[in-house]
Chain A
Amino acid sequence: MLDLIYKYVSPQTLAWLIVAFPLAGALLNGIHSLLAGRFHFKPSKVFTSILGVGLPFFSFAVTLIIFATLIGFPQGQEPTMITGPLFEWAATQGLSITFGLKLDQLSLVMALIVTGVGSLIHLYSTGYMAHDEGYARYFSHLNLFLTFMLLLVLGDSLVLLFVGWEGVGLCSYLLIGFWFEDPYKAYCGKKAFIVNRIGDTGFLLGMFLIYTALAGADLPAEQHQNQFFNFEVIRHFSAYLLPAATPICLLLFLGAVGKSAQIPLYVWLPDAMAGPTPVSALIHAATMVTAGVYMVARLSFLYVMSPFAMEVVAWTGAITALFAATIGLLQTDIKKVLAYSTISQLGYMFLALGVGAFSAGIFHLMTHAFFKALLFLGAGSVIHALGGEQDITKMGGLKERMPITCWTFVIASAAIAGIFPFAGFFSKDAILWHTFHGGHISLWLIAFLGAGLTAFYMFRLVGMVFFGEPVMKAAQWMKVHESPPSMASVLMILAVLSAVGGWIGIPYALGGGDHLQEWLAPVFAKTVGVIEIGSHATEIVMAVLSLLWALHFVILAWVIYAQRKEWPARMAGRLRLLYRLVFNKYWIDEIYNFLIVRPLIWTSEKFLWGIMDVRLIDQFGVHGTGRMMLVWNRLVTLMQTGVVQQYLFFFVVGVILIIWGMLFK
């Protein structure tokens, strides 16, 4: 089979096809939708669907082919493929930037997730967006997103990664503001772009620092050919980056903080929920927001050189994980709950990276892609059925009307809550274990607390949406329906993945083979100084402990929110202040607005423009110079009186002044 394929296409071409398929879809659908808008015809839905969904599936198929090829490599040979430069993008003296793809264990896992989950969500979208007039535009943006995301994970240099990085940001902007007639949605899109850009400045400076450190080090030219942004080159010469490792890692991490919505730049992600729900599933849960995790994992060899940067990564992740989980407890918008949950789960991934458990981080990234995509798509299914309703206090008892959505949602919730044997159990347990095992007890405690909260808020959601008594009116209740097959089938596939997806990473302690970890291990740098404080027995004890911990919260939440609905209100009454603090998301948005946004605009408008530019420079400086001329002009005019005595007077005064000057020089 593979031989047959390679008879006609080279592996390099195949690799580029992964990116090219969605790009073609984006271009064709984009032109289609533009022409339709200009010439007022209705874009063809069949054409859009076939291209928009078919091409991502092709891309997934090609990724699978390459995956099959690489695992077929003989024993002892790295399953890695580099396409080599397709072309040289830019070059000046001492700098050459080429564009090529690198398919290794890490990027292949990422590409499989992106194309796999991505294709499924494209398919789901045909149902979800079926009645939208921007159908073709939607698919062009979504395809474009896949293109950039694939460039991001497959690129062989930091620059190409950055191209994808900003590209996905653009698509995120376009898709959050997809229904741009609503000013709030347009605002959210812009906010996402700006907050991401703040992080990107760190990314840029980090890149520059790498370049400066390497280019200034007088390295053998034939080994790097000035391609100082290429991962291979950076890795090969990483020892030269040791003195600057801490600033480099911290700067790059700032980029990750923006893209992966960590404290303090997480504020854009809850607002990003303004986009269509499949977009939230694909971009703001499964793939794009994990780009920061991918980047840190990709540069693991740099991060291990700076223990301080690792600490920062771990603490940022842990605190974000707990902080976002608390906000998730009280949200009443179904998508907002999931958004804060995403922020929290991303925090877990960074925690894993920060304690040196890179493959655990990527493992959680993968399982999270499955169950969080499923959660969002399930939420989308509910929203679709209820005609756009997102408030969970107005739902309840939906189990009766939409069983597929309900049970897939429960599976996903069990997975994220870390219930054995669903996917999330293994990946979260891996993170908790590695944190504990590495001796980071306080980090572990935070993460452990967060895990409990996760279980609680998820099953609060499940209880309020699907169980208990329906709150809505009978007429509306009768209209609620299960989603069409295009959506339901995707839910079921993802439910299977959420259930069993974790099994590729079952640790040895639990009788598994830890396959994912072994597959990824060659890519990641080994962390130094791991303190051995555990054995298989402790690992099992810890796993059981965290399972019980989560389980108890699951039951608690379910009891409270499905059966004792009056409890939460009473609790809220008793802890009024705390409740208001958390319910209002700690007023972080308001604080940012008050401290940064408003002063900046005020200063620019009133001071810089109003006073500095218009008054000081223009009126006083420029026109003032003009007026000065007039004043001199008047003075000179005044002097020309035609009275000879006066002229003589001036003459004498002048002579005196000159003599004075010569005498007292």
Chain B
Amino acid sequence: MIPENILSILIFLPLAGAGIVLLLPNRETATIKGWALLTTLLTLAANIWAWTHFEGKTDFEFQKTYLWIEAFNIYYRIGVDGVSFLLISLTNFIMPIAVLCSWREIQTRVKEYMFVMLVLHTGMVGTFAALDGFLFYVFWEVMLIPMYFLIGVWGSGRKIMAAFKFILYTMAGSLLMLVGILYIYFKAGQSFNLLQWLQTPFSFAEQFWLFLAFALAFAIKVPIFPLHTWLPDAHTEAPTAGSVILAGILLKMGTYGFYRFAMPLFPDAVFYFTPHILTLAVIGIVYGSLVAMVQKDIKRLVAYSSVAHLGFVMLGLFVLNSRGVEGAVLQMLNHGLSTGALFLLVGMIYERRHSRLIADYGGIAKIVPMYSFFFLFVTLSSVGLPGLNNFVGEFLVLLGAFEFDWFWAAVAVVGVVLSVCYMLWMVERVFFGPVKQEENRGLKDLGWREAAILVPMCALMLLIGVYPKPLLDKMHASTDAFLKLATRQAEQTMAYDER
């Protein structure tokens, strides 16, 4: 039997851990790290437990509702469908890894760091679980502030600028979203209940503006071209764990926002904006890839590749058929795994050599064979080699796009070629050829802790690539329900045309 409040446990376990971290003395860094790791691992265990009880029904599961602020009709209302549950699982999978990879990298203010990480953890899980507009907004903000500190305090280089850019960008977006949420609140009879919102009819003009308000907030997070310039800065300057979380989970907040709010609530606007968003999505794919190709900093390269990968996700969501949408959701997970792992690997080499420039390496495959193996493995996953995770998602997204209109697939498929160009070119310059710099001869290969981080990630990539069906099965019902909601307009129009 699983406790009714399992979802709340998942949300607040990290926060409880954060509270305990605060009570520990500053100098006991080992205990603090150990405690943080234990907390995230416990959350992961609870998540696996919940996984075995998750059925993948049309309705939200593990639902729980408590009255929170009576005066404004605000409830603590949570529940998950297949998609949000998968994303929560991804979060809980990434977090222990993020803690583990900070083990040696973070030497200053360890206590504050772990506290911030655990609060961030709660924020992320909460955002995915919230079914109440107000609650969603609260968690959304809870998630942004810790990220700001992660970049600003523990980052490198021009960290303050990067942190500012990140926070201003996202705040500007979320303010518009807040306006949107408040408008709906009054329109839906003073309710923040998402389920009630879905029943509320909106006029086209309302949908148009509300969609824009929500879409802007989410598009910044995704990020959709041309709102992406905060991303390379934030990624590059953030500490490794920050980049991993940013790429692995925070970017998914944007696409998840589209999936959960912007698209099902405003089908007319979706219908209207589809061509625009598809255009931006494929521009993102091609543009992100091309710009990634000429980067000189490995981390920046990976950051721009995210723009391209997320372009695939947006493409899949907006072609509005089950191939596309399920591919897109799978691609959210895959991008979290693969790009997360790439950031981890870059972080590991940075710890040894304190450089992220491609030109500072060359020929290191000979010196660090194990590290090179993992890097190549993750690279192959990232370029969508069949048998590994990304292929499944990209295949489904492209298939869905082709069904929608062959043109979009034909443009997006260019990204498949370009991804090989930028990734393998980088691999060639970093790992192959003669050893150019003498300092690199002393590089140490992976240690046990690092192997413990990478092995589960790579195993999961292989598993998803070889047998993605269990994941897809969990989301069928939810994506079907989503499609019904998001294509309400299309159906009406078609029915109208037939008449």
Contact = CB atoms under 8 A, between A and B. Distances in A.
A162 B386 contact: yes
A218 interface: no
A641 interface: no
B311 to A, nearest CB: 15
B322 interface: yes
Contacts of B160: none
B373 interface: yes
A650 to B, nearest CB: 29
Contact of B370 (A37, A200, A601): A37
Contact of B468 (A90, A95, A215, A608): A90
A187 B409 contact: no
Contact of B380 (A34, A170, A603): A170
Interface string B402-418: 11001001100110110
B237 interface: no
Interface string A71-99: 00000000000000001111111110000
B447 to A, nearest CB: 10
A91 B392 CA distance: 11
B432 to A, nearest CB: 3
Contacts of A170: 380, 385
B469 A91 contact: yes
A601 B294 contact: yes
Contacts, number: 148
A180 interface: yes
Contacts of B433: 180-183, 186
B95 interface: no
B385 A183 contact: no
B229 A166 contact: no
A61 B306 CA distance: 47
Contact of B432 (A34, A181, A205): A181
B421 A194 contact: yes
A374 interface: no
B136 interface: no
Interface string B378-408: 0010000111000110011011001100100
Contacts of A656: none
Size class of the contact patch on chain B: 35 or more
A163 B386 contact: yes
A176 B217 CA distance: 47
Interface in B413-433: 413-414, 416-417, 420-421, 424-425, 427-428, 431-433
B434 A183 contact: yes
Given A181-B433, A201-B413, A190 B229 contact: no
B366 interface: yes
B370 A92 contact: no
A618 B431 CA distance: 32
B476 A93 contact: yes
Contacts of B424: 173, 190, 193-194
B382 to A, nearest CB: 13
A212 B403 contact: yes
B398 A204 contact: yes
Interface in A587-617: 600-601, 603-605, 608-609, 612-613, 617
Interface in B464-499: 466-469, 472-473, 476, 479-480
Given A88-B469, A605-B294, A618-B229, A38 B386 contact: no
Interface in B424-455: 424-425, 427-428, 431-434, 445-446
B189 interface: no
A647 B60 CA distance: 59
Chain B binding surface SS class: helix
A432 interface: no
B322 A180 contact: no
Contacts of A193: 420, 424
Contact of A190 (B399, B410, B428): B428
A604 B291 contact: yes
Interface in B308-332: 322-323, 326
Contact of A181 (B226, B434, B466): B434
Contact of B431 (A162, A180, A209): A180
Given A90-B469, A186-B432, A622-B229, A212 B294 contact: no
A237 interface: no
A208 B394 CA distance: 12
A570 to B, nearest CB: 42
Given A170-B380, A183-B433, A201-B413, A91 B226 contact: no
A197 B417 contact: yes
A84 B272 CA distance: 45
B16 interface: no
A613 B291 contact: yes
B323 A204 contact: no
Nearest to A95: B323
Interface string A616-645: 011001100010000000000000000000
Nearest to B480: A93
Given A212-B403, A604-B290, A37 B369 contact: yes
A325 B281 CA distance: 45
B322 A90 contact: no
A181 B367 CA distance: 11
B56 to A, nearest CB: 13
Given A91-B472, A209-B402, A617-B229, A201 B467 contact: no
A177 interface: yes
Nearest to A597: B421
A184 to B, nearest CB: 9
A180 B380 contact: no
B467 A89 contact: yes
A92 B322 contact: yes
Nearest to B445: A38
A123 B232 CA distance: 50
Contacts of B402: 205, 208-209, 211-212
Nearest to B370: A38
A467 to B, nearest CB: 39
A449 interface: no
B353 interface: no
Contacts of B369: 34, 37-38
Contacts of A167: 385-387
A608 B229 CA distance: 13
A198 interface: yes
Interface in A257-280: none
A608 B480 CA distance: 39
B126 interface: no
A92 B472 contact: yes
B133 interface: no
A483 B390 CA distance: 45
Contacts of B168: 626
B425 A201 contact: no
A581 B380 CA distance: 38
Interface of B: 165, 168-169, 226, 229-230, 287, 290-291, 293-295, 322-323, 326, 363, 365-366, 369-370, 373, 380, 385-387, 391-392, 395-396, 398-399, 402-403, 406, 409-410, 413-414, 416-417, 420-421, 424-425, 427-428, 431-434, 445-446, 466-469, 472-473, 476, 479-480
Given A89-B466, A163-B386, 18 more contacts: A38-B446, A87-B469, A89-B468, A90-B392, A91-B473, A92-B323, A94-B322, A159-B395, A183-B433, A190-B427, A193-B420, A201-B413, A201-B414, A205-B406, A604-B290, A604-B293, A604-B294, A609-B295
21 contacts: A38-B446, A87-B469, A89-B466, A91-B473, A93-B323, A94-B322, A166-B386, A166-B391, A167-B386, A170-B380, A180-B363, A182-B433, A183-B434, A190-B424, A205-B409, A215-B403, A216-B403, A605-B294, A612-B287, A618-B229, A621-B229
The 8 lowest CB-CB distance pairs between A and B, nearest first, are A37-B369, A186-B432, A208-B402, A183-B433, A605-B294, A180-B432, A93-B322, A163-B386
Interface of A: 34, 37-38, 87-95, 159, 162-163, 165-167, 170, 173, 177, 180-183, 186-187, 190, 193-194, 197-198, 200-201, 204-205, 208-209, 211-212, 215-216, 600-601, 603-605, 608-609, 612-613, 617-618, 621-622, 626
